[in-house]
Amino acid sequence: MFDIGFWELLLIMVIGLVVLGPERLPTAIRTVRNWVRNVKSFSQNVQSELKEELRVHELHENLKKAEQANMENLAPDVAKSVAELKEAADMVNRPYADKSDSNKSSQSTEKQD
């Protein structure tokens, strides 16, 4: 990524040792390591969010195609996207249905007591 070789790293370490001294050098290395780790984590999060947004956009486009075709004689990829959207909608609605079913069953047991 930065195209830094062994000798360049060795030179940076020697300069760091001379400038910071042996007492503060480990702390500086840990700090830089944490910065790099945070930047990598941030970039991975951004990348995953972009991939998810692209997937949602593709599903949305396929849904528009399916609506234009009146949901008949769909291409396999469009039909798969519609099925994924239906499954996602069911998963969103299912927790509420489960809660209402459990509330009804608990209310009916309370009435019987």
16-59 tens-digit pLDDT: 889 999 899 889 989 999 999 999 999 999 999 999 999 888 87
Please enumerate in sequence order all residues whose Cβ is within 8 A of that of 71, keeping only pairs 6 or more positions apart, or say none.
Answer: 82
86-95: pLDDT as tens digits: 787 777 777 6
Is the pLDDT assigned to residue 1 strictly greater than 70?
no
Instruction: Specify the residue for token string 């009146």.
Output: 70
49-70: pLDDT as tens digits: 999 999 888 878 877 777 777 7
pLDDT at 47: 96
CA pseudo-torsion sign 81, 82, 83, 86: positive
Predicted model pTM: 0.52
Encoded amino acid at 55, one letter: R
**Between the ranges 2-11, 43-52, 73-82, 96-105, where is the mean pLDDT highest?**
43-52
